[in-house]
Amino acid sequence: QGWVAYAIAQLAEAKRKSNGKPVYAFLWPQYHESNATLRLKPIEADYWELQLNTVRQHADGLIIWGGWGDHGPEPWNEEAPWWQVTKRFMQGLSSGQLKGPSQLAIQ
């Protein structure tokens, strides 16, 4: 799959340049606006799960971003397929894997 190969390569390069610092991936549960056919549509649940698992294997953590539309915040949908997958994904993690950064420095 094209996305997986691209993500793995990007994460490997980020780790190579990170000087030992953790590498976090940003994921967005929508298709990028550059895709004329799928522009800003939600990513299918199985594709989202693939992305979560790929990042889990190749990054130190991940940040899910989004929720903002052209006219401000988008309404939250507790039943959104991507969110259901995310909750199952998080339940499969051990408590030691669920943590935020321990040291932050803004320079």
Per the domain annotation, does 39 fall within a domain? yes
Are the beta carbons of 43 and 30 closer than 8 angstroms? yes
Per the domain annotation, does 71 fall within a domain? yes
Residue 78: which residues within 8 A CB-CB, separation 6 or more? none
Per the domain annotation, does 40 fall within a domain? yes
Give pLDDT, residue 94.
72
For 58-71, write each residue's pLDDT tens digit.
999 999 998 887 78
Per the domain annotation, does 105 fall within a domain? no
Q: How high is the mean pLDDT of the chain?
A: 88
Give pLDDT, residue 67.
83
Res 99 pLDDT > 80: no
Res 95 pLDDT > 80: no
Domain residues for the domain of 22 are 2-97
pTM (2 d.p.) = 0.83
Are the beta carbons of 67 and 77 closer than 8 angstroms? no
Q: In angstroms, rounded to a whole number, what is the distance separating the alpha carbons of residues 5 and 7?
A: 6
Are the beta carbons of 44 and 38 closer than 8 angstroms? no
Per the domain annotation, does 107 fall within a domain? no
Per the domain annotation, does 75 fall within a domain? yes
Q: How many domains does the chain have?
A: 1
